[in-house]
A and B are shown apart, each in its own frame.
Chain A
Amino acid sequence: MEQEKKRRNCQEQNPWVPRILIGISVIFFVIMLVVPLFEVIYRSLREGISTYTSAITAKNTLSAMRVTLLATVIAVVVNTFFGLCASWLLTKFNFKGKHALSTLIDIPFSVSPVIGGLAFIMTFGRMGWATPVVEWFNETFGTDIALVFSVPGVVLATIFVTFPFVSRELLPVMQAQGTAEEEAAALMGAKGFTIFKKVTFPHIRWALLYGIILCAARAFGEFGAVYAVSKARGKTFTLPLEIDALYMAGSANSITQAFAVSSLLVLLAIIMLVLKQIVEYRGKRDS
């Protein structure tokens, strides 16, 4: 009797509901993701392997690759450091303006990257207030640093766009951990760095790695902010900018080349996706 009731309950739940939902998801996924990605790979290889390899070993492409990797590595290092500092500060200390700071960190999420890039031009460009400072620095130290329309500018713009990623991953984890373990360690005589290394870090390592992966993925895919500060193809262009330039050139050949370079980014994205899955899995198993 009881069992029969249960069975009827199950049958009352229309079996079509999950099927329809699965169907919608799959169709959406295929149209929005699978087909375009497949198209990228297909188009890049349509003219044969030799066209493909020549496209990705072209001078401009190699330069773009170098700039992209440089910007990504620096952005990841800087933002990891900054993210650790910010989330440590926001979760382990109480001070005035804590909420304001927490909101500020999220600005790159809510502001269009192009605006970020333009803000850099406004600040460091020929008319910007910071230009005299940079010039003074160059004169005094005999350096030749240019922050706009140069590789340092690209790096700065990339850092700007990706800076919330690490701290946003760390904050909830550190919040949940609370401060008791750190306090316990402090009461036993441990100092700041020992506490971080022995007590805090083991908690956050997977979240940190996850944040780094997201940060890197965003860094080498960034277009808008970098576009605003980078105008010299073959010098300061990143991979997305190079792809855009090839595509805009409009010839059948250059479009194929654009797809070939795109396939590199797709490959990187897939690597990141796999890494992300591994980190997520290990993180869950650990905790």
Chain B
Amino acid sequence: MYIEMKQINKNYGDFQAAKNINFGVEQGKLVALLGPSGSGKTTILRMIAGLEHQDSGDVVIEGKVVNDIPARDRGIGFVFQNYALFRYMTVYENIAFGLKVQKKSKSEIHKRVTELIELVELKGMEKRYPDQLSGGQRQRVAFARALAPRPQLLLLDEPFAAIDAKVRKELRSWLKQMIAKVGITSIFVTHDQDEAVEVSDQIIIINEGHLEQMGSPVEIYKKPKTSFVAQFIGTSAVVDDFHGFKGFQNVPEGKQVILRPEFVEAFKSDNEKFKSLISVSESGVIRDIEFRGSYLTLTLEVNGILLNTNRSLERRPVSIGEEMCVLVYRAYVLEDENAHIHKNQMLKDIDIEAL
């Protein structure tokens, strides 16, 4: 493990910002700390950097406990949420700052800064001030500035929050590429699950100061361990009583169940492709149709339960009030804090993937 957080606790007065946090990050990995705002993820990041101090527990970097090492000696690169570029310095001076502090020679500084400016594709902008740059350009400067002193670890606090939605997507893949190119261990904080899923190798989900689950994006998506993760990830709808639904007879009565649109299939009764599934499906009525641009979201009522599913625009048109066959592939059953996956039992003998 390159970085380890061991039994970290942190309080602000009565507010518990971190509750017994334990996790490790391997060298070279890109990890996302994901959680709703106010969940404590930024506090964790700042404790790793040494900008906040934990009340108890150890922060370990490369096998060394760094609790008492001040931020300036930890050798960590940090990209702030609003980039915190030095407003009264040019792009060049911003990137050179860390090297100047280290008292590197002028020629060495020049070489490194030029190299980084080329890396982040900001050639020709060296003499500009931060307020003469776009959001995306500022992020690149912040990134280059953090990397200049060659840190072993890069921390990024909501790196895309200050950028408009359109550029954000572009920058995500750019950042992922850059980090891969530099090969630096990185941890970034985000509240946007799409961002976490797209960019990171590993996701750590934080809620109310404690760690809910850590795993690869696919794991987090397909096998949520806690009820929080099941609800937080994806477009989740909570169904209060799912007892008796075809294929889910073994779900205990009165248990809450989480369904995502992709778990639900709706087809017309004359659909040839799903012919073999008609017997295992329930019948439902379309109550609402929402146009989402590239697809439709249908709200179906089945035995008094409302379910959502997405429908491709390439399929036959449907209308409100129309009767459909409804099939649920899987559901997450919530039990106290935990989530269990229940697959449709009636589909056990049917090869769904062949459909």
Q: Could you tell me which A residues sit within 8 Å of B by CB distance?
A: 180-181, 183-191, 194, 198-199, 202-203
Which chain B residues numbered 78 to 130 have a C-beta less than 8 Å away from chain A?
78, 80-82, 84-89, 97-98, 101-102
List 24 A–B pairs whose Cβ atoms lie within 8 Å, in order of A's numbering: A180-B82, A183-B51, A183-B71, A183-B84, A184-B84, A185-B86, A186-B51, A186-B71, A186-B72, A187-B71, A187-B78, A188-B72, A188-B97, A188-B98, A188-B101, A188-B145, A189-B98, A189-B149, A194-B101, A198-B86, A202-B87, A202-B88, A203-B87, A203-B88
Residues in chain B near residue A191, CB distance under 8 A: 72
Which chain B residues numbered 59 to 91 have a C-beta less than 8 Å away from chain A?
70-74, 76-78, 80-82, 84-89
Query: Is A187 within 8 A of B77, CB to CB?
Result: yes
CB distance from A127 to the nearest CB of B (A): 45
Q: If the complex has contacts A190-B72, A190-B101, are A184 and B87 also in contact, measured as CB distance less than 8 A?
A: no
CA distance A3 to B74 in the complex (A): 65
Determine if B49 is an interface residue (Cβ-Cβ < 8 Å).
yes
Q: Could you tell me which B residues sit within 8 Å of A by CB distance?
A: 49-51, 70-74, 76-78, 80-82, 84-89, 97-98, 101-102, 145, 148-149
CA distance A181 to B83 in the complex (A): 8
Residues in chain B near residue A194, CB distance under 8 A: 101
Residues in chain B near residue A187, CB distance under 8 A: 49-51, 71-72, 74, 76-78
Partner of A188, one of B82, B85, B149: B149
The 7 A-B residue pairs with the shortest CB-CB distance, nearest first, are A188-B98, A180-B84, A202-B88, A184-B84, A189-B101, A189-B72, A190-B101
CB distance from B42 to the nearest CB of A (A): 12
Query: Is A185 within 8 A of B51, CB to CB?
Result: no
Residues in chain A near residue B74, CB distance under 8 A: 187
CA distance A185 to B149 in the complex (A): 12
Tell me if A's interface is mostly helix, strand, loop or mixed.
Answer: helix
Q: When A and B form their complex, what is the total count of cross-chain residue pairs whose Cβ atoms lie within 8 Å?
A: 60
Query: Is A181 within 8 A of B71, CB to CB?
Result: no
CB distance from A31 to the nearest CB of B (A): 45
CA distance A185 to B73 in the complex (A): 12
CB distance from A198 to the nearest CB of B (A): 7
CA distance A187 to B102 in the complex (A): 12
Query: Is B80 within 8 A of A184, CB to CB?
Result: yes
CA distance A241 to B297 in the complex (A): 83
Residues in chain A near residue B89, CB distance under 8 A: 198
Residues in chain B near residue A186, CB distance under 8 A: 51, 70-72
Residues in chain B near residue A185, CB distance under 8 A: 86, 97, 101
CB distance from B256 to the nearest CB of A (A): 41
B148 closest partner in A (C-beta): A188
* Extra pairs beyond A188-B149, A189-B102 (16, CB < 8 Å): A180-B80, A180-B82, A184-B80, A184-B84, A184-B145, A186-B51, A186-B72, A187-B51, A187-B74, A187-B78, A188-B145, A189-B101, A190-B101, A198-B89, A198-B97, A202-B88
CA distance A199 to B93 in the complex (A): 12
CA distance A203 to B87 in the complex (A): 8
B84 closest partner in A (C-beta): A180
A183 closest partner in B (C-beta): B51
Residues in chain A near residue B84, CB distance under 8 A: 180-181, 183-184
CA distance A191 to B102 in the complex (A): 11
CB distance from B152 to the nearest CB of A (A): 13
CB distance from A134 to the nearest CB of B (A): 42
CB distance from A180 to the nearest CB of B (A): 4
**Residue of A187, A198, A203 most packed against chain B (CB within 10 A):** A187
Partner of B78, one of A184, A198, A199, A202: A184
A185 closest partner in B (C-beta): B97
A178 closest partner in B (C-beta): B84
Query: Is A183 within 8 A of B86, CB to CB?
Result: no
CA distance A202 to B130 in the complex (A): 14
CA distance A202 to B85 in the complex (A): 13
CA distance A180 to B85 in the complex (A): 9
CA distance A62 to B70 in the complex (A): 55
Residues in chain A near residue B101, CB distance under 8 A: 185, 188-190, 194
Residues in chain A near residue B149, CB distance under 8 A: 188-189
CB distance from B15 to the nearest CB of A (A): 14
CB distance from A175 to the nearest CB of B (A): 16
CB distance from A116 to the nearest CB of B (A): 37
CA distance A207 to B215 in the complex (A): 50
CA distance A186 to B49 in the complex (A): 10
CB distance from B190 to the nearest CB of A (A): 18
Query: Is B72 within 8 A of A181, CB to CB?
Result: no
CB distance from B11 to the nearest CB of A (A): 14
CA distance A248 to B98 in the complex (A): 64
Query: Is A183 within 8 A of B72, CB to CB?
Result: no
Residues in chain A near residue B88, CB distance under 8 A: 202-203
Residues in chain B near residue A180, CB distance under 8 A: 80-82, 84
CB distance from A94 to the nearest CB of B (A): 10
Residues in chain A near residue B97, CB distance under 8 A: 185, 188, 190, 198
CA distance A92 to B70 in the complex (A): 16
**Residue of A183, A188, A190, A191 most packed against chain B (CB within 10 A):** A188
Residues in chain B near residue A188, CB distance under 8 A: 72, 97-98, 101, 145, 148-149
CB distance from A96 to the nearest CB of B (A): 11
Residues in chain A near residue B50, CB distance under 8 A: 187
Residues in chain A near residue B76, CB distance under 8 A: 187
Query: Is B51 within 8 A of A181, CB to CB?
Result: no
B103 closest partner in A (C-beta): A189
CB distance from A259 to the nearest CB of B (A): 47
CB distance from B10 to the nearest CB of A (A): 14
CA distance A184 to B95 in the complex (A): 12
